[in-house]
Structure 1
Amino acid sequence: MKKYIKVNATFDCDGNLLPEYIYWDEDKKYPIDKITDIRYAASLKAGGAGIRYTCMILGKERFLFLEENRWFVDTREN
């Protein structure tokens, strides 16, 4: 399932868009510790495609997607 989230991102001097923080449920802000990969890819869990950022957040690898002009993450369905 897709969860659209708020993201703080900046452009570096080479024009690359780099996310710095994600906001979960408006009141929880998490820094992105490291970006290990950036590529165009499909979300196999949630559907859709876009630029996939492989990020380290709180010591865990997470996929963050930029689909057109919106950010989303894959969430587990219960």
Structure 2
Amino acid sequence: MVKLDNSDKVYVPVVVSFSEEGEMRPRSIIWEDGQIFTIDRVLDVRPSPARKVGGQGDKYTVKINGKVSAIYFERSAALNGPVLGRWFVERNA
């Protein structure tokens, strides 16, 4: 993984729901200290590299408390089983 600045890749628990069509919708993020941040709205979803910390995933541009932020879903390489992937954020060090 190549880091381009002083940021850290932080894996976080994310509460999600699934639509009838199978669309995954993040609802809230649980930070390292246990604080819960409710996602007000998903603004965009697209495959994208995490430029600050390295890695590839689906970038979810979200609005939390009126502030635009990004969370990434890193898909698992496993073709079966319960592990679909992990969520991470880019944290400035």
TM-score (norm 2): 0.79
The alignment's C-alpha RMSD in Å is 0.9
2:90 maps to 74
2:80 maps to none
Is 2:34 the counterpart of 1:18? Answer: no
Give the paired residue count: 77
Structure 2: runs of 5 or more not aligned: 1-7, 76-84
After superposition, give the CA deviation of every residue in 1:23-63 in whole Å (9 maximum; x if it has no partner).
Answer: 00252011000000000000111110111100001111111
Read off the aligned partner of 1:73 and give its amino acid letter: V
Q: Name the SS for the 1:75 alignment partner.
A: strand
1:28 maps to 35
Distance 1:71 1:17 in 2: 12
Distance 2:21 2:45 in 1: 14
1:55 maps to which of 43, 54, 62: 62
Dislocated runs of 4+, deviation >4 Å: none
Distance 2:12 2:45 in 1: 18
Deviation at 1:13, TM superposition (A): 1.3
Q: Percent identity?
A: 34
TM-score (norm 1): 0.94
